[in-house]
């Protein structure tokens, strides 16, 4: 009845096992050679992006394992979208659990191909995509790398990020973002995070940071709570170079490349600090809001659950969550200070 | 910064407080005198049902506190739907937390009045409610008692139940149900629970138990998991006496009266049994499914979040939840035995 656990968590889970565990340290295959960047064909763009996210995922796993001093490793789970159709796509879900810094970290790739449904085609053509037939039926391809890092330390914020490409015919649109969900407000963290992204955006287009910061604040919002989920960052959908007036592919790669650099200085600042049981309890309660947003409102999760691989979608769930009835922070407490920012986003950069 | 906690949990939560706590043992006002049962007017029906659920809630609180040997008490929170409109309705949310048997127990009343939106009116008239104007605008009244008991002991199932009345003009429809979500399969528990409800249904109409048991299995289903949430029980919407061919009001009251009697023998059987850390971990993981259903699929919660009081809706969330990546029970383990029943509901009575 007992099976050895990968990276045994110290908690007994006899009788339970993970599937597809493989050896304790299973590495991704080496990054494929990138397609020449000078080609303008959409196939080359797509393949080039797929190569990029493979390399990005590999770098993220390596950096994250370094945070754990090599004592915790990612489980690497490759899955096929449809075993009977080798062209339907695949995913690589990578999860590290029970780390000293990373209570749960996931960095996932998915690369899928299919045929546009009429419902999605109508939605896209209504957004001005002239190459989309609103009747549907066109082939599409989509590739994404998405990441959630749930920190063990209550003073280290949760990090969420993604970069993605959607392509139909010769049209390609990028999406992505990177945002921070702290449990306690730290002005220095907030400023350094937002300044990082303001600097990245500043290289591409005036006003881009302001636009994507506001988009992020709008998107990660829980109407029933009248709270934003975190202190935001960047968020964008449907960006194409022709309309954006800047090199969106280069921008999106820079977003991907910045995911850990924007966050690691915050980790370094807090990981040695002591924390209290009260702070840990507040962290567990705040994670309740995180999953409320994911399950009630997140479009990506709703889309993914409609035929996606459930474990690769729910891997974004926090590892441990608490709900208490009607917890309201004391006036003037650090918990209340955090809530005020969630109720009314600030400018940080 | 510190405030005393109601029924202090043993975990420090300095800096956090609950609002509307009141004294440690705040009791509901005595049950109002019931309207004469022989009147057939719909107003009397509605008021009579409101009286009934007040008394039901009072009895449930008292019985539940007995389970805790009086060492934990419910916090009783009365709220107004709209402070500026005394006719809009109210709720009484009652929560007991951190008990030895009841890790989190909630028994809530809500009594609300309003004007039918066109959207709801169309949905209702399409279900054959001839008194509903599909353009909306008619006044309605709704009353409900809903309950969730999350057990501390992994061998004591989660209990969920509700009884409700919706009324427009002279038409009134009842809804309700009672279902069980165990972490481990116990055949004796499953049989005793379902036999209880089969006996209740048997007094009213042939085939009623089968119909409502199947309805329950259909409703508490997580498509993305291909799992039912628990072992079911009864579930029904929109039942009116004229169509049902039995006394629905009497039946619904018997459902309400049976909520704790169907479950207490199961508690008595297990509360003295030891359990392992492995069983506790499995319980926390199964609670993940519980909240997935609530937030992704439950119509009542989605309806409630659209303008309802968020804390009275989210009070149904389990007190502590875990998500691990891709946990699959060992073949032949008790965890796998439970999953098999969730994947394929059985007949128990």
Residue among B14, B15, B79, B316 with most chain A CBs within 10 A, to mutate: B15
| B300 burial level (CB within 10 Å; 0-12, 13-18, 19+) | middle
Query: Which chain A residue has its CA at the smallest distance from B277's CA?
Result: A12
pLDDT digits (tens, 9 = 90+) for B207-218: 999 999 999 999
Q: Which helix (H) or strand (E) holds B250?
A: helix B248-258
CA nearest A210: which of A218, A219, A201? A201
Q: Which of A15, A277, A295 has its CB closest to that of B278? A: A15
Share of chain B above pLDDT 90, in %: 70
Residue A155, Cβ density class (10 Å: 0-12 exposed, 13-18 middle, ≥19 buried): buried
What torsion do the CA atoms of A248, A253, A254, A256 make, to the nearest 10 degrees?
A: 130
Q: Give whichever of A166-175, A204-213, A236-245 has the largest mean pLDDT.
A: A204-213
Q: Which residues of A touch B324 (CB under 8 A)?
A: 13, 16, 18, 97, 319
Which residues on A lie below 8 Å from B325 (Cβ)? 18, 75, 77, 93, 95, 97, 104, 106, 311, 315
The full set of domains in chain B, from first to last, is 42-343 (3.40.1500.10)
- Range of weakest confidence among A37-51, B241-255, B269-283, B322-336: A37-51
- Three-state helix/strand/coil letters over B78-138: EEECCCCCCCCEEEEEEEEECCCCEEEEEEEEEEEEEECCHHHHHHHHHCCCCCCCCCCCC
Q: What is the mean pLDDT of chain B?
A: 87
Per-residue pLDDT band for B41 (boundaries 50, 70, 90) equals low
Give the per-residue pLDDT at A144. 97
Q: Is A229 left (phi over 0), alpha (psi -120 to 50) or beta?
A: alpha
Q: How far apart are CA A345 and CA A335, in angstroms?
A: 16
Q: Note the pLDDT of residue A2.
A: 30
| Residue B188, H or E segment | helix B187-202
Q: Which residue of A has its CA nearest to B289?
A: A314
CA distance A313 to A328: 31
More confidently predicted of B9 and B287: B287
Closest among B275, B220, B208, B196 to B247, alpha carbons compared: B208
How far is the C-alpha of B244 from the C-alpha of B247, rounded, in Å? 8
3-state secondary structure of A236: strand
Query: Range with the lowest mean pLDDT among A50-59, A138-147, A277-286, B32-41?
Result: B32-41
What lies within 8 Å, CB to CB, of A271 at 6+ separation is: A101, A153, A156
CB distance A171 to A192 below 8 Å:
no
In A, minimum Cα distance to B281 occurs at A13
Residues of B in contact with A315 (CB under 8 A): 325
More confident position, B237 or B30: B237
Stretch B165-187: mean pLDDT, rounded?
94
pLDDT in tens, A179-195: 999 999 999 999 999 99
Tokens 């609950």, residue?
B18
pLDDT tens digits, residue range A302-323?
A: 888 877 889 999 999 999 999 9
Of residues A338 and A125, more confidence is placed in A338
> Cα–chain-centroid distance for residue B255?
12
Rg, C-alpha atoms of chain A: 20
The predicted model gives A127-136 an average pLDDT of: 81
Higher-pLDDT residue of A257 and A307 is A257
Report DSSP state, residue A248: H
Tell whether the model's pLDDT for residue B177 goes beyond 90: yes
Taking CA atoms, A123 is separated from A120, A177, B24, B40, in Å, by 5, 21, 54, 51
Cβ atoms of A34 and A47 closer than 8 Å: no
């Amino acid at each position: 009845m007992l099976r050895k656990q990968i990276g045994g968590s110290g908690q007994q889970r006899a009788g339970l096992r993970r599937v597809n565990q493989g050896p304790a340290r299973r590495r991704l295959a080496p990054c494929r050679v990138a397609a020449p960047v000078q080609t303008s064909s959409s196939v080359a763009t797509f393949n080039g992006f797929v190569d990029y996210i493979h390399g990005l995922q590999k770098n993220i796993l390596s950096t994250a394992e370094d945070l754990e001093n090599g004592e915790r490793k990612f489980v690497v789970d490759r899955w096929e979208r449809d075993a009977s159709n080798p062209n339907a796509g695949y995913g690589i879900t990578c999860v590290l659990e029970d780390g000293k810094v990373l209570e749960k970290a996931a960095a996932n790739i998915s690369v899928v191909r299919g045929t546009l449904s009429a419902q999605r085609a109508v939605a896209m053509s209504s957004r001005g995509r002239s190459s989309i037939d609103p009747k549907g039926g066109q082939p599409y391809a989509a590739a994404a790398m998405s990441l959630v890092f749930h920190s063990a330390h209550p003073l280290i914020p949760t990090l969420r990020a993604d970069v993605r490409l959607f392509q139909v015919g010769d049209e390609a649109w990028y999406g992505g973002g990177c945002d921070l969900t702290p449990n306690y407000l730290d002005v220095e963290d907030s400023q350094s995070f937002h300044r990082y992204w303001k600097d990245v955006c500043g290289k591409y287009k005036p006003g881009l940071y302001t636009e994507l910061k506001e988009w992020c604040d709008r998107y990660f919002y829980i109407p029933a709570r009248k709270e934003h989920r975190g202190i935001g960052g960047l968020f964008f959908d449907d960006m194409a170079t022709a309309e954006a007036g800047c090199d969106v592919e280069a921008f999106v790669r820079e977003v991907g490349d910045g995911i850990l650099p924007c966050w690691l200085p915050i980790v370094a600042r807090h990981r040695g600090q002591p924390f209290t049981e009260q702070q840990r309890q507040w962290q567990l309660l705040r994670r309740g809001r995180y999953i409320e947003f994911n399950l009630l409102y997140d479009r990506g999760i709703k889309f993914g659950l409609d035929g996606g691989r459930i474990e690769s979608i729910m891997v974004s769930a926090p590892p441990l969550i608490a709900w208490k009835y009607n917890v309201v922070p004391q006036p003037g407490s650090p918990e209340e200070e955090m809530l005020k920012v969630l109720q009314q986003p600030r400018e940080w950069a």
